[in-house]
């Protein structure tokens, strides 16, 4: 087989694999979700493997079942505590009404209208207040909620299938360590099997540390914001926990997530203050200070430790990777930037270590 024919065969096989991945994207999603959950479950497996009963270790099947139960137990506790908070907050927001929300902003918007008519436009019909009120009507339109719950039955059915599939696959990934990577090794030529195995072992170790670190970072953000918003700002503890949860989850999206979380948290806190009769400006300033302090702590201490130590890369290197991924693939790119970069670095070190740039990028690994 000449070189040109070999390239054609490789391209055809690659295209076929990509088509299968697209066609079975649901199954691929189940497998990747199970891989992530198995990363979170491996520390539990490691701890359980040290337990001895009558000089015998616990069976791996039992350890895997306990690990899966512990992971889902965390999710169940999450839904048990936070879903009622979310529903209650939505009910409270719905009872406030758009007129009361708009009334809070009437005075500053009137000043902006006067400034705009004087310096920007001569249109006498120009009104930021009217536009703001229209947008609020769209946001709080009940028809949106009806549309969301219109296909609830199909959503529940798909979710049940996904939960069962992910749980089943996660159990075997934990029970048989390296099962997923064994499938990957089967797809490569035998002469590269040793290199691939070594690279996948490094990827496994780094990604386990990364995902555990991300989960820990979420819990830290949740705790700091809950304490700050309840003790310093004076928000109700349930509302503070809900805002902290949203911020912790959105913090997974680098740079953009904290900004969105701050805006949502301010909105929820200020809307809650309307019913309590609190002053608007002092509350907003206190909440901004708490969010800013939380982000300083996260950016200065938590994230550098998590990212740099978990994947062994320089913080500036991580920053540039995230910016590049965001410009190429938006929010999704920023979410998968660090795991993808970690995998690429490991394989580059294994197969392209003769290049100086690869040696420099992987010297900390």
Task: Answer yes or no: are the C-beta atoms of 98 and 140 closer than 8 Å.
Answer: yes
Nearest 10 degrees: Cα torsion 138, 140, 141, 145: 130
pLDDT of residue 101: 56
Cα–Cα distance measured from residue 220 to residue 213, given in angstroms and rounded to the nearest whole number:
10
CB neighbourhood size of 68 (10 A): 23
pLDDT single digits (tens) 49-89: 888 777 777 888 888 889 899 988 888 887 777 777 766 66
Task: Convert the pLDDT of each residue in 212-248 to its tens digit.
Answer: 888 888 888 999 999 998 898 888 888 888 888 888 8
Place of tokens 């609020």: 136
Strands (E), 152-288: none
The residues with which 228 forms a beta bridge, in sequence order, are: none
The pLDDT-based confidence of 122 (bands split at 50, 70, 90) is: low
Res. 279 pLDDT band, cuts 50 70 90: low
Intra-chain end-to-end CA distance of the chain, in Å: 39
**Residue 83: Cβ within 10 Å count:** 10
| DSSP code for 123 | -
- Can you tell me which residue has the tokens 């936070």? 82
């Amino acid at each position: 087989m000449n070189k040109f024919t070999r390239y054609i065969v490789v391209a055809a096989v690659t295209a076929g694999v990509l088509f299968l991945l697209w066609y079975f994207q649901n199954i691929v999603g189940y497998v990747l979700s199970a891989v992530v959950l198995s990363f979170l479950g491996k520390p539990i497996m490691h701890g359980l493997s040290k337990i001895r009963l009558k000089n015998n270790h616990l069976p791996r099947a039992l350890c895997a079942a306990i690990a899966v139960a512990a992971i889902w137990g965390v999710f169940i506790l999450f839904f048990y505590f936070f879903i009622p908070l979310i529903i209650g907050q939505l009910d409270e927001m719905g009872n406030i009404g758009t007129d009361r929300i708009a009334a809070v902003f009437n005075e500053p918007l009137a000043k902006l209208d006067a400034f705009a008519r004087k310096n920007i436009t001569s249109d006498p019909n120009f009104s930021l207040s009217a536009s703001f009120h229209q947008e609020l009507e769209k946001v709080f339109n009940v028809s949106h909620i009806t549309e969301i719950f219109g296909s609830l039955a199909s959503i529940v059915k798909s979710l049940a299938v996904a939960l069962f599939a992910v749980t089943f696959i996660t159990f075997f990934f934990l029970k048989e360590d390296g099962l997923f990577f064994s499938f990957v090794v089967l797809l490569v030529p035998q002469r590269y099997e040793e290199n691939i195995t070594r690279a996948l072992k490094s990827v496994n170790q780094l990604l386990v540390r990364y995902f555990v670190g991300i989960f820990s970072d979420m819990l830290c953000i949740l705790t700091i914001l809950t304490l700050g918003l309840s003790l310093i700002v004076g928000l109700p503890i349930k509302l503070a926990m809900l805002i902290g949860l949203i911020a912790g989850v959105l913090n997974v999206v680098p740079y953009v997530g904290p900004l969105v979380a701050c805006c949502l948290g301010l909105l929820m806190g200020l809307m809650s203050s309307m019913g309590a009769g609190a002053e608007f400006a002092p509350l907003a300033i206190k909440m901004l200070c708490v969010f800013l302090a939380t982000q300083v702590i996260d950016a200065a201490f938590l994230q550098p430790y998590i990212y740099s130590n978990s994947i062994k890369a320089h913080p500036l290197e991580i920053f540039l990777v995230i910016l590049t991924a965001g410009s190429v693939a938006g929010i999704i790119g920023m979410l998968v930037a660090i795991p993808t970069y970690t995998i690429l670095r490991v394989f580059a070190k294994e197969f392209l270590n003769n290049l100086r740039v690869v040696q420099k990028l992987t010297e900390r690994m």
